[in-house]
Amino acid sequence: MASNFDLITCITGLSQQHLIQRDDGFKLQPEASQQFDAMATAAKKDGIKLSIVSAFRSYQRQAQIWQAKLSGKRTVYDLNNQPVCLESLNTRAKLNAVLLFSALPGASRHHWGTDIDLYDTNAVASDYQPRLEPVEYQVGGPFFAMKKWLEQHASSFGFFMPYKYYQQGVAAEPWHISFAPVADQYQQQLSCQLLAACIKKNPVAEQEAVLMHLADIYQQYVQNICR
């Protein structure tokens, strides 16, 4: 990466110059992509086909999701998978409801190209649409075996699960893995001030409230990962 400015645009999803396009169409950071392929080869020997649901996501895409959820165009769910009535909540509570499953634009680990949502295509019919719901990854769910495999082996390839458990921030996401050697560096570069500057320049829904509560949001949802 050429300059600090480039690095900042990369870690906030405003640039893709840190990424490569893979044969499966997804974009990832090169080392993360290479290690993912090595891990997928190992998993295949154990009958598990690691397949990507989502990899890189841009700031603009995350801002669309953020807007759709806050405006009620896209359903917001609570920890029990029940729809939340946003209209009955004050602004801060609304932000928290959305942040449970959707990152603030600029602060998504998916901007980094180091983070991947996964399912096991060997465990389901070829037309199965993964919903990324905890029940699919729990005992009795189609992707439970994959989750167990990842718990045992992912770390040998540099991956960990930043949302393994719910700890009062982002909900548990057993499908989400992160390539630590690069993601840790990006996380260290990110800061609340940098995020504030990014959001001021690139408007998001509920901008004023986001900026007012940004320090808390940053602490609770960005820094607060399972490590």
Residues that bind Zn ion (CB under 5 A): 117, 176
Task: Indicate the residue among 61 and 92 with the shorter CB distance to Zn ion.
Answer: 61
Residue placing its CB nearer to Zn ion in the complex, 115 or 206: 115
Q: Which is nearer to Zn ion, 164 or 176 (CB)?
A: 176
Least Cα distance to 101 among 161, 162, 169, 148 occurs for 169
CA distance 57 to 81: 24
CB count in 10 Å sphere of residue 38: 13
Nearest to 13 by CA among 202, 179, 200: 202
Least distance to Zn ion, CB of residue 65, Å: 12
CB of residue 109 to Zn ion, shortest distance in Å? 7
Residue 174 three-state SS: coil
The least CB distance from residue 220 to Zn ion, in Å, is: 17
Q: What spatial distance separates the first Cα and last Cα of the chain, rounded to whole Å?
A: 26
Q: Measured from the CB atom, is 201 or 227 closer to Zn ion?
A: 227
Going by the DSSP 8-state scheme, the letter that residue 106 receives in this structure is T
CB 205 within 8 A of CB 67: yes
Least distance to Zn ion, CB of residue 117, Å: 4
